[in-house]
Amino acid sequence: MKSPHLALVGFAATSLLRRKARTLTLVVGLAASVALLASVFFVTGALRDEARRVRGAAPDLVVQKLVGGRPSVLDPSLAPTIARIPGVKQVVPRVWGYLFLASIQSNVAVVGSSSRGPLALSAGRDLQVGERGTCVLGKELADTLGLRLGDHLIFPLPGHRAADSVVVGLFSSDVSLYTSDVALVADEDARLILGVPRESAVDLAVELTNPDESQVAARKLGELFPGARVVEKRVLDRTLALVYGRRAGFVLGASLPALLALFVLAWDRAAGLAPSERREIAILKACGWSTSDVLRVKLYEAFVVAFAGGALGIVLAYLWSFPFGAPGLREVLSGWAVLYPRTHLVPSVDGAQVLSVLALVTAPFLALSVGPAWRAAGVDPLEALREG
Amino acid sequence: MSRLGLLVHVFGAALVVALLAIPLHARQQRAARAVLDAPVSATVARLPSGDFALSGSGRHLRHISLAEPGAAFADVVAGPDGDPAGGALAPPRDTFPEATP
């Protein structure tokens, strides 16, 4: 024998199908709102996850020199002094900067290859030690300039001069998010292209034996070099977690009126019973249905609509965010670029998040339906049938 | 059961299956990406920072964590602009200064 609860759920579903247009409108409207909300959560989570993924690769401290509030080049001979600070494992002077290429109306990040280590490449090879006149390019940069392995990239220099560089490697698309606008060259080539004097460096990358002591080391550095700016990785980690949440909050705040409007519509829909609905309830009660049965059916109807709309919205959000890359939304949440990295974001979604979004939608929808459902259940069958 | 009812049942079942598949697919994607963690981290270690190759509206420059502390809207370290619309709308590229050839 069929369970009474299942029978009531089946009746609720049939009842919704009898009012197809209204049901479909609510489900589609709810799905659209949930899709937008869930997409913001999914894309923000993926960006945070991606940023967290490479945090370990960044130096524990970066030391810059400030002149007039702006970063300036510094003397790399500071490096041995800093290296003698207890807890400092390694200090690497770095040469990097931006070069504006008028042909693509974009800045290129010219990075001197001061450290060694494997590169994620899709083609070609890494720079060799001591090699000059060669470069490894980001995928989007190479594609925009129409360059392939073996081609020459001419870097414009001041005074109507140019630096010729042969493309020996191309970064993989897996690292496009970080390298789309990067031209990795030898340190000496970077100095030539950027105009950084031989006896200078752009900043110092400091590695610590114990990263938890970065605050102490940063304070010590500030005392030793009063004009320096010390950027701690620890602070960056905390700020990034807040920053993406803040951007997501702005977008959600702008979308909230749409979701609230939908809930008001749903409440308005449920609050007023159509004459056909009143007659239906009257007949059911006349046939022996209790008030609690009618109440349960109304709540099941609300649950089915909320679940269907919420689930459809979550599925649409996932498809929009990841296979399609959230066009229109991703730029708002992550930023813009002329050489835009086309890396697909990897979802950080888990079962708990899916359930949370579903509950976030279903619970208020059900709560809004309780009052109207109670009113519906309290319909007097004789009065309703007399009204015809 | 009517055709519409059957359709609704099938749609509902597909929806539930899709919902259950989402976390599984996400986990599979993360596992596939984890294989690339080492080369990605090694590549990023040779760059100035782990910042994305993206800009905010305030400064129009990359490596936001190392940008000028006095720049407009850079009110927090590594903070992109507070106006997400600035991230969606790039400044007019025609106004970019042209480099001296």
Contact B49 A115 (CB under 8 A): no
Inter-residue contact B47 to A113 (CB < 8 Å) = no
Beta-ladder partners of A97: A110
Beta strands, E only, chain A: 61-67, 70-72, 88-94, 96-101, 106-112, 121-124, 134-137, 152-157, 161-171, 182-185, 203-208, 228-232
For the segment A266-293, the average pLDDT, to the nearest whole number, is: 76
Contact B48 A351 (CB under 8 A): no
Task: Please check the confidence at residue B77 and state whether its pLDDT lies above 70.
Answer: no
Q: Spell out the alpha helix ranges (H) of chain B.
A: 3-34, 37-44, 84-88
Band (B100; pLDDT cuts 50, 70, 90)? very low
Out of A70-74, A90-94, A347-351, pick the least confident.
Answer: A70-74
From chain A, pick out residues whose CB is under 8 angstroms from the CB of B61.
98, 107
Q: Look up residue A31 and give its two tokens.
A: 């799905």
Q: Are B40 and A175 in contact (CB < 8 Å)?
A: yes
Q: What is the pLDDT of residue B101?
A: 34
Higher per-residue confidence, A166 vs A19:
A166
Query: Helix, strand, or coil here: A377?
Result: helix
Least confident window among A33-42, A138-147, A177-186, B22-31: A33-42
Select from A257, A256, A208, A253 the least CA-distant residue to A233.
A208
CB A71 within 8 A of CB A78: no
If one compares A290 and A318, the residue with the highest pLDDT of the two is A318
- Please, what is the average pLDDT of chain B? 70
Residue A22 has pLDDT above 50, yes or no: yes
- A237 pLDDT band, cuts 50/70/90, is confident
Note whether A113 and A171 are within 8 A (CB): no
A385 to chain B nearest CA, in Å?
A: 29
Q: Does A184 touch chain B (CB under 8 A)?
A: yes
In angstroms, the Cα distances linking B90 to A14, A182, A251, B57, B61 are: 51, 19, 18, 7, 12
pLDDT tens across B3-22, in order? Answer: 777 888 888 899 999 999 99
- Residue B75 Cα, gap to closest chain A Cα (Å): 11
| A13 interfacial to chain B (CB closer than 8 Å) | yes
Q: Which residues of A touch B77 (CB under 8 A)?
A: 231, 235-236, 239
pLDDT confidence of residue A222: 85
Query: How far is the C-alpha of A165 from the C-alpha of A112, rounded, in Å?
Result: 13
pLDDT value at A263 more than 80: no
CB contact under 8 A, A174 and B47: no
Alpha-carbon gap: A169 to the closest alpha carbon of chain B (Å): 13
Would you call B3 an interface residue with chain A, using a CB distance cutoff of 8 Å? no
In the predicted model, is pLDDT for residue A203 greater than 60? yes
Nearest CA-CA distance, residue B10 and chain A, Å: 13
Label residue A282 by pLDDT band (50, 70, 90). Answer: confident
The string of pLDDT tens digits covering residues A308-358 is 999 999 999 999 999 888 888 887 777 777 788 888 889 999 899 899 988
Exposed, middle or buried by CB within 10 Å (0-12, 13-18, 19+), for A122?
middle
- What pLDDT, on the 0 to 100 scale, is given for residue A239? 67
Q: Which of A66, A172, A250 sits opposite B84 (nearest CB)?
A: A250
What's the pLDDT band for A281 if we cut at 50, 70, 90? confident
Model-level pTM?
A: 0.81
Residue A64 has pLDDT above 50, yes or no: yes
Chain A CB within 8 Å of residue B56 CB? yes
Q: Give this complex's ipTM.
A: 0.78
Tell me: the pLDDT tens digits for A122-161?
Answer: 999 999 988 999 999 999 999 999 999 999 999 988 777 8
